[in-house]
Structure 1
Amino acid sequence: MEASERDSRADRAREAVDRLAADGVDGVALTWVDTSGITRVKAVPLARLPHAAAWGAGAAPVFDTFLVDDGSVLGRFAGGPVGDLRLHPDLDRLVPLAATPGWAWAPAERFDQAGVPHPLDGRWLVRREVGRLGADGIHVRAGFEVEWCVSRGPGDAFTPATTGPAYGMIRLVELAPYLREVLAALAAQGVAVEQIHPEYAHGQFEVSVAPEDPLGAADTVVLAQETIRAVSAAHGLRPSFAPKVVAGAVGNGRHVHLSLWRDGASLMSGGGGPLGLDRVGEAFAAGILDRLPALLALGAPSVASYLRLMPSLWAGAYACWGLENREAALRMIAGPNANLEVKCVDAAANPYLLLAGLLAAGRAGVAAAARLPDPVPVDPAVLAPGERAERGIERLPESLTAAVVAFEADEVLAAALGPAVIDTVATVRRGEIALFEGADDETVVAATRWRY
C-alpha cells in the first residue's frame, strides 16, 4: 500500500470521526467472516480510527483455520501461532449501528504487513471476480434472504418466541414491536428491505434485502444479521441463524439471488434462451449448476447443513433448475426483476467466499458457452429414480465429506480462488467433520445452534 493511499485513508477517517462523534459513537467494530462462517471482530476506539484506516488493526491469520467450536486446525497455507495481518476498515461502508448505541461498524479487508491483500480475504476475492466479469462487460447484482428463528427464555434450548402458524399474521402481531424495530434499525443503517415475513419453521422469520453489487451484498448480509442479533437481545430474545435449529424440523437457509446485466440490459429476461434467458445469462446459470456439488463446500459448509439439505423441504436438494420451483437448487424467478435464486445454501457460509465461488462458476459457464438442461417443473423427489437419471437430475452431496471431495476436484474453482483458499477451506471442513464424527443429529444441532 502506497504512502499516499495511507494518507488518503487517514484523512477520510478523520472526517468520519467528527461525524460519528456527533452521533455519540465511541467505538468502531471491524468485522470479517472466517472460513467457518462466523463473523469475527476487532474493535478500536473512535479516536483510533484514522490509524486503523491507514495502518490497520492487528489480527492473527489463525482465524482462517478456526472451527465452529473455536478450536483450530493447521493447513498448508494457514493456521498456527505465527504471523500477523492488518484489518483496514472500508470507510465507504462505515455506519453507526442503530441497534447498538455508541458503536459504528465497518467491514474490514485483511492485508499483510506490507499492504498486500491477504489471499484468503473474502472481500478481495469478490472484488477480483467482479473485475474479471466486468472485463467482459458483465455486471452482477446480488442479494440475500436472511432467515432466522427467534427463541425466548434462558438456557441454550430453543423455545419459539411465537407460537403462531407458519406464515401466519399471528406471529407478526405477537412480535410486532420487535419486527418493527428490526425494520427501523435496518433502514437507519441504509439497508433497503424489500420484504419481511414469518416463515415456515417454528419461530422463524425472513428478511429480503434489495440487490446491489456482489461485494455490497455480502457486506449488507453481515450487517443485517448482526442488526437482527442486536435488536433481538434488546427485546430479551435470541436469534438462531443456524442451518438447523431443531433436529428433524425445517432449518434456516440464506438464499442468494443473482441477476446479470450488460450495457444496462438484463441478461436474465427477453432473450432467446430457455425461459427467456439471454444466452449469456443461460451460460452463467449453467456454470453454477454444473459446479453445485463443489460449491456446497462454500455454501453449505457445516455438518449441520446436510441436516437441512433434504428433499421436499424447499432446501433445493437436487441439482436442477426450474421456473419458480422451490425444490430446485436453482430457482428461476421471472418478471421485471428476473433473477436466479440459489436455494441450497445457508448462513453457515462465509458470504464473501460463497459469492466469489458462484461468480467464478458462472464466469466459467460463460467462457464455455454452457447450456442448461431442460427446466424441471415438479418436485424432483416425486419423480421415479429412473426418470431422474434419464433427465440428468442428481441429488446434491448428502454429506460435507462428499462436498469437500467435489470441491478439491474442481479445476475451475481451484484456478479462480487459488491454492490457499482451496487448501484452507478443505482443511477446515475436514476439521469440522472430525469434530462431529459419530455424533447424532441432536448433538450436532445443539453444538451449532447459536454459533452463527
Structure 2
Amino acid sequence: MNLSALQSLIQTHPLIDNHAHNILTRDAACKYSKYPFEQIISEAQGPALHNAPSSLPLYRAAEQLAALYHCSSDWDHVKAARDEWVQRDYDGLIRRCLQGTHTLLLDDLLTDQDIESYDWHDRFTASSTKRIVRIEVLAAQTIAAVMRDDTRAEGDRAVVRDRWDSFCQGFERRVSEAITDPAVVGFKSVICYRTGLNVQPTEDDDDTPLLESFARTVNQGQGSAYRVEDKRLNDWVVRQTLNLLQSAKAANASAPNKPLQLHTGLGDNDIDLVLANPAHLQSLIAQFPGVDFVLLHSSYPYTREAGYLACVYPNVYLDLGEVFPMVSRDAQESILRESLEIVPTTRLLWSTDGHFFPETFYLANKQFRDVMETVFVDYVHKGDFTVDRAKQAAADILFHNSNRAYSLNERLTFEVSTFAVSTQPSTATLDAFMRGNPDVKYIWMQFIDYTNTTRVRMFPVAEFAKIVQKQRRIGICSCLQLMLQDDSITPEGSVTGQFYMEPDLATLRRNVGFDTKSATVMTYWKTEEGEPLDGCPRTALQRVTKQLREHDIEVTCGFEIEVMFLKPITNAEGETDYVPAVKNHSWSQMTSDTRKMVPLLEEIVDTLTSIGIPPEQFHSESAAGQFEFVLPPGSPIAAVDTLLKARQVVTCIAEQHGLRATLHPRPFTHAAGSASHAHVSISPPTKEDPFLAGVMRHYPSLIAFTLAQDTSYDRVQSGLWAGSEWVAWGTQNRETPIRKISPGHWELKTLDGLANMYLAMAAFLSAGYMGVQDNLPLTVKDCTHDPAKLSPQDRQSLGITTQLPKSVSQSLDALESDTALHSVIGETIVQNYISVKRMESKRLHDMDAEVRRKWLIERY
C-alpha cells in the first residue's frame, strides 16, 4: 500500500480552478476599509464581520498565513507582514499563492473596480485564463444599452413592449456572442442572491407579469446602475440562457460544452437561506437535459441535496469550492465525505472561489489538498478505495473533470507516468516538480566552466523530459574545458569531440527574482559511453566526497555570500561606471543609508526562502554597499548548488532595482573586499588533525582554485580579516586562512566569488583526504595572532614556515608541481585548469586596470 504516492499526488497535482474571480490591483490590495481582509474566511459583512477574528476558520488561516509570510500568527502581525510583501513584490506573492494552478476560470463580472483584467492572470498559471460570464450582468448591461437608445418618457404598455423586444434581442445577441467566444467557457447565475433558486422552469402563457417585472427593473434603475433582481425577470434570464445554450448544442453537437454555474448555499446576508437549497432546481435541471449545471460552493449547508442531484442527473456537477477556507477543518472533512456519499468522483469539481486577495486562492488550495489527503487516506485504510483508485479520483477532481466539463482540452504541462509510481527516480522527481510548478514552461540546464562562468542551454519542458528519459542527449564541444569568458580557446584546445550533459534533478529549482516561467538544473558531464568525464568539476567534488566517506568521514559545507551592491552611473566620458549603492555604511550597523537597503535585502531573503533556500542570517559588511547572506549547510555538492542558485537570485533581484550585485573580490582599493567564505565540517571530528595537516601541506597548491584570479590576491592581505599572508590556522582567528570554529569545523577564508566552487571545494577536500589517508601529523600549531605580525622565531615555533602565494601565477606554479594533489583531483582537470588560468591571467594583465575592474564587475 503505497500511500506516499497518493499523498504526493494530492499535494502536487496541477489543478483547474473552475470558479474564481479577479485579483485586486496592487494599489487596492491593502485598502482594507473597502476590502476587509477578514473576508478571506467569512461571507459576513459590516458589523457581523467584526466577529470573524474569533472564529476557528480565521485562527487556522492566521497560522497558515503566518507560515507563508514568516511572521507570528497574531492577526495584526499577519496583516502587517502581508502589507510589506504586497509593497515589495506583489507579483511574487500572487505567484506563490497560485502555485500549482494550471488554469483559472474567472467570473470577471463580480466588479469592474480595483481589479486586474482576466488575461492579466495568465502570467501566474500554466495555461491561459478563461472567462465565466455572469448572466445577470449581461442583462443589466443590455437594459442600460436599451435605455441609452430609447429617449422616450415613461409610457404605456406599447413603450414597455418595444423596450422588452429590444432587450430580448440584445440579451440574446450578447449570450450568443459569448457562446461562440473561445475565451468564454461557461456562464454563471447569481439568482440565488437575487430571488432564490426556485426558478420557474417554463414560460407563462401570459407574459404580462414578465413585462411588469421588466418595467419595475427599468424604473428602479433610472438614474443609476440597473440591477436585475425582480423574480419574473430573473427567472426569464436564467431560462433564456439555458434555451440558447441547449439550442447551440443541438445545432452543433461537437461544439465546446459551456455549463451554467449557479451559486448555491453559502453566501452573505443577501441570500434567503431557505431558497439557497439546490433542491429547488430539480425541475429546471430536468427541463434542460442538454445543458450541464454546476452547483457551486458545495451547496453548503445543503451538500447532500446537491449530491443527490449530481448522482441522479447526468447533467449536474457538484463544485467543492468556497467552504475552503470559510468553515472549520471538521466541517470541510464532513462536506467532502458527504459529497462522496453518492456522487461519482467523475462529477465533482474543484474551485477556490478565490477573489480579490491572492491568499484566498492559497488558503483554499492548501486546505482542500490537506482535507482530501485525510479523507482519501482514511478510505484507503478502510478498504473503500485502492490506492490507484484514490489517485485517479484525486486527479479527476483536481484537473480532469473540469477539463472535460468545460471542454478546455488542456494537457498537463508534464506527465511522464500516469500518476503511478515511476520506476525511474529521476522521472519521478521531474514529475513531482512539474505537478507543483505547472506554470514552468522551460528548463535551463546549467554548467560552470573553469573560469566560473555559468553556461546555459534552455529547453521546453517536453524536450527536457526526453533528456531525462534518455531519449536524447545534449552534446557540448569538448573545448569548453579550455574556454575563456569570451569564448576563445587556449592553444591546447580543439573543436573536435564532445561530452554530454546529464541533469541532476536534485538541483531542480524554479527561477525567481525576474519575470520568467523557467527553472534551472545543474549537470554532470558524461563521456560518449555515458561514463563520468574526467574534466567535470561536479564529478571531481562528488568523487572526493565519496573517498572521504570510505574513511567513515561525512562532510558538511555551508557558504556565505558577500556581495557589493553597486549603482551604475555615466561618467564624464559617457561611459558606464559603478559606485556603491550606499555610502554611510559599516559592519553590522544599521545606518540611515543601510535602512534604505532593507526592503531589497528582505526581498532577497523572502525569495530565496520561497525556493527552499532560507538564509540563516544577513547583515551589512564593512565596505560601502556590501552585505552578507549566510546560507544553510548541506553536503558538498548540494551546498555549492545552493550557493550558485542563491547568487543568481541575488543578482536578478538587484537588477530589478537598477543595481549591480558584484562578487568582485576588491572593486575599490580603499575598502575591504568580498570573500565567499566556506564552512567545512567533518564527522566524526576524531580525524581532524590529519585532515587539517593535509590541508596545510597542500595549501599553496589548492589556493590556485580558491583564489582564481590575480585580483583575488588584492584582498588577502594582513589586517583585513581575510586570512593574512601565511599558511596557518587558528582557533577563532580571522587572520589565518583557516579559522577553527569547533572540533572538525573550519572556516576557509582565502576563497572568493571568482572561484569555480566545485573545484575549490574538491581541492580543499582532496588535500584533507590525503592527510587522512597518510595519517599526517599536524605540525602547524594553533596560531592566536596575525602570523604576518609575528617574528620569524615565533612563526617557526608554531610551524608556520610557508607564505601564501602572492599571485595566480605563483599558485599555479605550486599546483603544477604538486603531483600528489593531481592524483586526487584528477590529472585532466588540473592540466586544463592551469592552461585556462594562465591564458586568462595574460588576457587580464593586458587590459588597462580600470577596464579590467569594470570587466570583472560586469561578469562576476
TM-score between both structures, scaled by the size of structure 2 = 0.48
Q: How far is the alpha carbon of 1:383 from its aligned partner? A: 1.6
- More deviation in 221-230 or 300-309? 300-309
Q: How far is the alpha carbon of 1:184 from its aligned partner? A: 0.9
Q: Is the aligned partner of 1:12 residue 2:428?
A: yes
Residue pair 2:443, 2:520 contacting (<8 A) in 1 also: yes
- More deviation in 9-18 or 316-325? 9-18
Deviations along 1:341-360, whole A, 9 cap, x unmatched?
11011111111111111111
CA distance in 2, matches of 1:217, 1:324: 23
Q: Is the aligned partner of 1:65 residue 2:456?
A: no
Give, as a single letter, the amino acid of the residue that structure 1 aligns with 2:580: P
Q: 3-state SS of the aligned residue for 1:366?
A: helix
- More deviation in 186-195 or 430-439? 430-439
Query: Are residues 148 and 223 of structure 1, via their aligned partners in 2, closer, same or farther at CA, if it must alter by over 3 Å?
Result: same
Hey, what does 1:92 align to over in structure 2? 506
Hey, what does 1:401 align to over in structure 2? 809
Hey, what does 1:203 align to over in structure 2? 625
CA distance in 2, matches of 1:305, 1:385: 26
Residue pair 2:434, 2:440 contacting (<8 A) in 1 also: no
Q: 3-state SS of the aligned residue for 1:318?
A: coil
Q: 3-state SS of the aligned residue for 1:448?
A: helix
CA distance in 2, matches of 1:134, 1:192: 27
Residue pair 1:42, 1:57 contacting (<8 A) in 2 also: no
CA distance in 2, matches of 1:294, 1:161: 36
CA distance in 1, matches of 2:652, 2:475: 25
- More deviation in 41-50 or 147-156? 147-156
- More deviation in 351-360 or 59-68? 59-68
Q: 3-state SS of the aligned residue for 1:216?
A: helix
Q: Is the aligned partner of 1:162 residue 2:582?
A: yes
CA distance in 2, matches of 1:371, 1:201: 39
Query: Are residues 328 and 52 of structure 1, via their aligned partners in 2, closer, same or farther at CA, if it must alter by over 3 Å?
Result: same
Residue pair 2:585, 2:594 contacting (<8 A) in 1 also: no
Residue pair 2:541, 2:762 contacting (<8 A) in 1 also: yes
**Greater fraction helix:** 2
Q: How far is the alpha carbon of 1:109 from its aligned partner? A: 1.2
Q: How far is the alpha carbon of 1:368 from its aligned partner? A: 2.2
Equivalent of residue 706 in structure 2, options 286, 299, 302 = 299
CA distance in 1, matches of 2:752, 2:646: 15
Give, as a single letter, the amino acid of the residue that structure 2 aligns with 1:81: V
Equivalent of residue 363 in structure 1, options 744, 763, 769 = 769
TM-score between both structures, scaled by the size of structure 1 = 0.89
Q: How far is the alpha carbon of 1:216 from its aligned partner? A: 0.5
CA distance in 2, matches of 1:187, 1:121: 29
Q: 3-state SS of the aligned residue for 1:175?
A: helix
Hey, what does 2:190 align to over in structure 1? none
Residue pair 1:10, 1:51 contacting (<8 A) in 2 also: no
Q: 3-state SS of the aligned residue for 1:157?
A: strand
Deviations along 1:192-223, whole A, 9 cap, x unmatched?
31111111112111111121111101111111
Q: How far is the alpha carbon of 1:418 from its aligned partner? A: 2.0
Q: 3-state SS of the aligned residue for 1:449?
A: helix
Q: How far is the alpha carbon of 1:149 from its aligned partner? A: 0.4
Hey, what does 2:452 align to over in structure 1? 37
Q: How far is the alpha carbon of 1:389 from its aligned partner? A: 4.5
Hey, what does 1:352 align to over in structure 2? 758
Q: 3-state SS of the aligned residue for 1:254?
A: coil
Give, as a single letter, the amino acid of the residue that structure 2 aligns with 1:379: D
CA distance in 2, matches of 1:422, 1:368: 22
CA distance in 2, matches of 1:313, 1:106: 36
Matches within 5 A, 1:33-432: 33-53=448-468, 54=470, 55-75=472-492, 79-100=493-514, 101-154=516-569, 156-167=576-587, 168-170=589-591, 171-262=593-684, 267=685, 278=686, 280-316=687-723, 317-334=725-742, 339-372=745-778, 373-393=780-800, 394-432=802-840
Residue pair 1:14, 1:49 contacting (<8 A) in 2 also: no
Q: How far is the alpha carbon of 1:137 from its aligned partner? A: 0.9
Query: Are residues 82 and 36 of structure 1, via their aligned partners in 2, closer, same or farther at CA, if it must alter by over 3 Å?
Result: same
Residue pair 2:781, 2:799 contacting (<8 A) in 1 also: no
Q: How far is the alpha carbon of 1:447 from its aligned partner? A: 2.8
CA distance in 1, matches of 2:815, 2:851: 26
Residue pair 1:194, 1:208 contacting (<8 A) in 2 also: yes
Higher relative contact order (CA 8 A, sep 6+): 1
CA distance in 2, matches of 1:127, 1:175: 38
Give, as a single letter, the amino acid of the residue that structure 1 aligns with 2:672: V
Q: 3-state SS of the aligned residue for 1:47?
A: helix
- More deviation in 32-41 or 239-248? 239-248
CA distance in 2, matches of 1:176, 1:301: 32
Q: How far is the alpha carbon of 1:363 from its aligned partner? A: 0.7
CA distance in 1, matches of 2:559, 2:689: 21
Query: Are residues 139 and 14 of structure 1, via their aligned partners in 2, closer, same or farther at CA, if it must alter by over 3 Å?
Result: closer
CA distance in 2, matches of 1:349, 1:369: 29
Residue pair 2:569, 2:578 contacting (<8 A) in 1 also: no
Hey, what does 2:310 align to over in structure 1? none
Give, as a single letter, the amino acid of the residue that structure 2 aligns with 1:305: S
Deviations along 1:87-109, whole A, 9 cap, x unmatched?
22111221112323311111111
CA distance in 1, matches of 2:847, 2:794: 35
CA distance in 1, matches of 2:669, 2:859: 16
Hey, what does 2:349 align to over in structure 1? none
Residue pair 1:285, 1:340 contacting (<8 A) in 2 also: no
CA distance in 2, matches of 1:227, 1:59: 26
Q: 3-state SS of the aligned residue for 2:691?
A: helix
The structure number with the bigger radius of gyration is: 2
CA distance in 1, matches of 2:476, 2:491: 17
Q: How far is the alpha carbon of 1:249 from its aligned partner? A: 3.1
CA distance in 2, matches of 1:119, 1:102: 34
CA distance in 2, matches of 1:135, 1:297: 27
CA distance in 1, matches of 2:437, 2:733: 49
Query: Are residues 220 and 444 of structure 1, via their aligned partners in 2, closer, same or farther at CA, if it must alter by over 3 Å?
Result: same
Deviations along 1:198-251, whole A, 9 cap, x unmatched?
111121111111211111011111111111111111111110012222235322
CA distance in 1, matches of 2:742, 2:527: 44
CA distance in 2, matches of 1:9, 1:84: 27
RMSD: 2.1
Query: Are residues 106 and 451 of structure 1, via their aligned partners in 2, closer, same or farther at CA, if it must alter by over 3 Å?
Result: same
Q: 3-state SS of the aligned residue for 2:579?
A: coil
Task: List runs of 5+ in structure 1 lacking aligned partners.
Answer: 1-5, 268-277
Equivalent residues, number? 426
CA distance in 2, matches of 1:21, 1:47: 14
Residue pair 1:158, 1:245 contacting (<8 A) in 2 also: no
